Structure 1
Amino acid sequence: MWETHPDVLVTDLGDELILMHAGQGLMFSLNGPGRVAWQALPGSARDLASALATAFNVDPQQAQADAEALLADLAARGVVRRA
């Protein structure tokens, strides 16, 4: 299970999300697939993949790979963590 880091503030601008990690002073923007995946949190990589496959009508295996890659990237940046 993955969750957002408690120090991350989120601003919804309609077509994108702006994430600010208060502890690190970093900002990120998520749109399209990143936004859909973020909104599936907290959840497993499978939950995020399901949301991506549904929203973008992509192959479930590709959606799973994309979800895992996104989670790894967001975890490396400190904006998500394993619950």
Structure 2
Amino acid sequence: MFKFLILSFVFFYLIIKVSGFFLRIFLRSATQKATQHYQQQQTRQQYRPTGNANVDIDYVPTETVKASKITKGGEYVDYEEVK
């Protein structure tokens, strides 16, 4: 029984150490990929031309705004100064 406990303790200890090692490798590669992706995004934004030479349209509305939706103003109310 004592031999079984010792072996199971050693087995679980080795599993924890090996999984920690692989977890560190995985996290290191994931952070390197995220860093590369972030740097690529930054370089794309830095070299974007300014001005009207290249116009990018990101949003095209599906339907036009009707004139009835636009408010033309409210009712005119005379202003009287109250003393």
Asked which structure has the greater RCO (Cα within 8 Å, sep 6+), the reply is 1
TM-score tier after normalising by the smaller chain length: under 0.3
**TM-score relative to the length of structure 1:** 0.24
- Which one has a bigger Cα radius of gyration? 2
What is the TM-score normalised by the length of structure 2?
0.24
